[in-house]
Each structure stands twice: as C-alpha cells, then as structure tokens.
C-alpha cells in the first residue's frame, strides 16, 4: 500500500508556499502521497506555482489556523476545522499513516494524543531529536514534551529512542547513555540515579551515564533525559552554534587577510553549516503514539519539510511502533519498572 502523509500546510513561520514546495519535493523524490491541509484556495494557488509533478498530492480544506501563541488545549478544542485537528482526523480514520506539522507544537502534541492515543503500555509520548556528532547522529529524548518525569518515563524514552534509532539509522543494538553530571551511576539527581538502576537491570544496550560534553562525540546512539533538560540542551546547542559563527564573523571583519581566508575556506563552512543544521534532520518525531507524528521547527524551509515527510514515511514503512512494543517486551521493562510506578515522585509527574 502506498504510504500517505498529511501535512499541516498552514503551520510554520514561512507560509504555505514553502510548505507546499517541501511536499512537492517529497512526492518527486519518494514513492509516497501527501495530503495538504489548509485553506484550499491558498493551497491550490501555491500548487500552481510549482513546476514539478504534483499528481500524488491532494488538498483537504481545513481553513482554521491554531496560531503559535494560542493555548494548545484551547486551540484543539475550539478549532475543529483547523489544519492540525483535521490532519489528525485523517490519521485516526486511516486515510494517512502520519502527520507532519511546523505549526504550534503544543497543539500538535495535544491533538496527537487526543486523536491517536498512546501506544499500549507507554505512559508518556515524548519528542526525539537527532543531533549531529563527530561520528554519526545521536537521538536525544525527551526534548520538550514532559518536564517533570519519573524514572520509568525516562526508561521508556530510552526504549522509544532506541527503536527510532534502529528504524531510521539501522542501528542494531543502539548504545543508550543516560544524561547526567558524572560518569558513575551514583551521580545525578534522584530521578536520574533511579533511572540508572533501572537501565542497568534492563537488557537494553545501556552503556551508563554520559555527560553534556559527550553529546557531540558520537559514543552513543541514544541519550536519555527529561523534557526540561533535553529542551534546554537543544536550544542551547542552536544558540551556541549561532553565537560561534557570529563571533567568528565579527573577528573576521576586523582583518582583510582573515576575510580573504574566510572566502577561501567558505566551502568548509558551508559543509559544516549543513552538518549542524537542524533542518537536515527532518523534524522531531513524537514517539509513543498509536500512529506517527512529526513536529517541525516553526522556521522550517522546504528542505526541512521534505526531510520530515521522508522521516515520517520511514517510520511508517519500517513500523517504528512495532519496534517500540518489541523492545518494551525484550528490555525487561515490566520486570524492572512495571511494578514500581509510584516508587519515586518528582514534581507533579502523573
């Protein structure tokens, strides 16, 4: 059966033209179909501007928009005819196998959980993000969906991220690291220390704690953390990469020789930029759903959208959810953490 992906064509900061262009690139490069959701007048106009084949693209009218600053829960409840809500509606009824959105990410998560529900035995869906490293990609999870977590949630993030790494990168036994502030198992906060115990007892390929500086070394395939820490890491990395480039440009402007050098070395800078460019990684999947959803950066350009659609298609074709359920069984999760759901509390975790 042909893989079909719904794209929220109203979300994001760059407008429908950019999103539609990403969808067109996707159908031209892959054997898939895309359904665009949004104001059909706008979307047809955007499609007409395209010079390439668009015969595997369909438009579904869903003119309402949940804006970036709107309350996710409110927006999803009130705007039944919004592109986000209608996209998940199509997913629920089986017309598509995945939803991709660069719109209000809170609303995307809310609608995803509301319409698709959680995967069996998963307590909390979370967001996985791919980081570039010196050796290859590493998957960090959670990067923002769950701010107050318990050890069993972190354990599950490890399982889901490992399944994602298997499916997307073909990693056979993903090496899992637990983000902490020292290598020994006794280091870290209460929740992290308990998580270390769990992962140690599991049959996952757990290699122990990793520190912030290990993130970009490529020693592990998966880094486990709560959504607060993960989100701070994600944004800190973006900010630091930008700051390093800005500082370098500032210094270079001060000298003609350095400027000449910069122009000669520009090719290397461009490759580097591509390597650390988050648009390349193709959005961040919300894992742990009865279905597939990809959350994209609001600033996503056509290439980022195309890559997100590609990731969505891979997740469907290679059955990431089947992998998650299998790993959940094989990891000894239930024996290790299944009976201890109330053992450690931190904050308002439910």
C-alpha dihedral sign at 137, 230, 299, 283? positive
Strand ranges in the chain using DSSP code E only, listed in sequence order: 3-8, 32-38, 57-61, 98-101, 126-131, 138-141, 176-179, 206-210, 222-224, 284-287, 293-295
Q: Using CB under 8 A, count the residues that bind its own copies.
A: 66
Q: What is the DSSP letter of 242?
A: H
| Residue 125 CA: distances (Å) to CA of 20, 157, 264, 302 | 28, 8, 46, 27
Query: Which residues within the stretch 245-304 sit at the binding site for its own copies (CB under 8 A)?
Result: 246-248, 251-252, 254-255, 257-269, 271-272, 275-276
- Binder among 181, 298, 317, 322 for its own copies (CB under 8 A): 181
C-alpha dihedral sign at 333, 335, 337, 338? positive
Min CB(223)–its own copies separation in Å: 10
Q: Which range of residues in 81-89, 119-127, 195-203, 224-232 is near its own copies by CB under 8 A?
A: 224-232
Site string for its own copies, 144-173 (x = CB under 8 A): x--xx-------------------------
Site string for its own copies, 204-223 (x = CB under 8 A): -------xxxxxxx------
The span from the CA of 324 to the CA of 122, in Å, is 9
Query: Which residues within the stretch 62-81 sit at the binding site for its own copies (CB under 8 A)?
Result: none
Min CB(20)–its own copies separation in Å: 28
- Asked if 189 contacts 221 with a C-beta cutoff of 8 angstroms, the reply is no
Min CB(331)–its own copies separation in Å: 25
The verdict on 197 binding its own copies (CB under 8 A) reads no
The span from the CA of 156 to the CA of 172, in Å, is 18
Residue 266 neighbours by CB under 8 Å, 6+ apart: none
- Binder among 53, 73, 243, 343 for its own copies (CB under 8 A): 243
Min CB(16)–its own copies separation in Å: 26
The tokens for 120 are: 């069996």
The span from the CA of 340 to the CA of 218, in Å, is 32
The verdict on 348 binding its own copies (CB under 8 A) reads yes
Query: Which residues here bind its own copies, judged by CB under 8 A?
Result: 133-134, 144, 147-148, 179-181, 188-192, 211-217, 225-229, 231-244, 246-248, 251-252, 254-255, 257-269, 271-272, 275-276, 346-348
């Amino acid at each position: 059966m042909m893989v079909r992906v719904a794209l929220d064509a109203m979300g994001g900061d760059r407008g429908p033209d950019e999103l539609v262009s990403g969808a067109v690139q996707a159908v031209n490069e892959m054997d898939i179909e895309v359904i665009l959701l949004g104001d059909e007048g706008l979307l047809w106009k955007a499609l007409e501007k395209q010079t390439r084949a668009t015969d595997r693209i369909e438009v579904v009218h869903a003119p309402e928009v949940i804006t970036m600053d709107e309350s996710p829960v409110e927006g999803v409840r009130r705007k039944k005819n919004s592109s986000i809500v209608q996209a998940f509606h199509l997913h629920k009824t089986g017309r598509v196998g995945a939803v991709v959105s660069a719109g209000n990410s809170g609303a995307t998560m809310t609608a995803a959980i509301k319409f698709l529900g959680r995967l069996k035995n998963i307590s909390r869906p979370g967001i996985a993000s791919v980081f570039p490293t010196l050796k290859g990609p590493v998957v960090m999870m959670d990067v923002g969906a769950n701010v107050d977590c318990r050890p069993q949630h972190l354990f599950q993030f490890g399982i889901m991220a490992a399944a994602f790494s298997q499916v997307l990168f073909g990693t056979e036994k993903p090496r899992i690291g637990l983000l902490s502030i020292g290598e020994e198992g006794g280091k870290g906060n209460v929740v992290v220390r308990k998580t270390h115990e769990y992962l140690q007892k599991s049959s996952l390929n757990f290699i122990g704690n990793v520190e912030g500086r290990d993130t970009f070394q490529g020693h592990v395939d998966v880094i486990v953390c709560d959504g607060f820490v993960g989100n701070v890491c994600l944004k800190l990395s973006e900010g630091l990469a930008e700051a390093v480039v800005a500082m370098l440009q500032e210094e270079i402007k001060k000298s003609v020789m350095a400027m000449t050098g910069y122009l000669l070395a520009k090719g290397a800078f461009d490759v580097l930029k591509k390597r650390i460019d988050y648009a390349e990684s193709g959005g961040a999947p919300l894992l742990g759903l009865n279905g597939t959803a990809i959350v994209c950066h609001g600033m996503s350009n056509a290439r980022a959208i195309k890559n997100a659609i590609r990731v969505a298609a891979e997740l469907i074709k290679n059955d990431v959810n089947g992998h998650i359920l299998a790993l959940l069984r094989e990891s000894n999760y239930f024996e290790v953490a299944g009976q201890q759901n109330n053992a450690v509390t931190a904050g308002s975790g439910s």
